[in-house]
Structure 1
Amino acid sequence: MRNVSQVRITSPLFSGLVYSLIMMSIGTLVTSLFLLLTSTQESSLHALTTIIHAASLFIGGWVAGKRAGNRGWYYGGMLGLIYFILIFLVGFLAFDAGLNWRSLQLVIILFVSGALGGMLGVNTRK
Structure 2
Amino acid sequence: MSSLSRIFGLRNASPVASGLYWSGIWLAVGAIILSILLAGSSLKESGMLPWVFGVHGFATLAGGFVSAKKSGRRGWYFGMANGLLYSALLLAISFLATDAGWSTAVPILLLVTCLSGAVGGMLGVNAGSAAKTR
Alignment of 1:60-71 (within 5 A): 60-71=63-74
State the match for 1:10 in structure 2. Answer: 13
Aligned match of 1:43 in 41, 46, 58? 46
- Within 2, Cα distance between the matches of 1:30 and 1:109? 20
Query: Is 94-103 or 5-14 further displaced after alignment?
Result: 5-14
- Unpaired runs of at least 5, structure 2: 130-134
1:78-123 per-residue CA deviation (whole Å, 9 max, x = no partner) reads 1111100111011111221122221011101110000110011001
The answer as to 2:105 corresponding to 1:102 is: yes
State the match for 2:127 in structure 1. Answer: 124
- Within 1, Cα distance between the matches of 2:114 and 2:108? 10
> Structure 2: which amino acid aligns with 1:76?
G
State the match for 2:76 in structure 1. Answer: 73
- Within 1, Cα distance between the matches of 2:33 and 2:108? 24
Q: How many residues align?
A: 124
1:26-67 per-residue CA deviation (whole Å, 9 max, x = no partner) reads 100111011111121112211111000000100000000000
- Unpaired runs of at least 5, structure 1: none
Q: CA RMSD in A?
A: 1.3
1:10–1:67 contact (8 Å) kept in structure 2: no
- Within 2, Cα distance between the matches of 1:40 and 1:107? 25
> Structure 2: which amino acid aligns with 1:101?
T
Tell me the percent identity.
37
- Within 2, Cα distance between the matches of 1:32 and 1:101? 24
1:73–1:118 contact (8 Å) kept in structure 2: yes
- The TM-score with structure 2 as length reference comes to 0.87
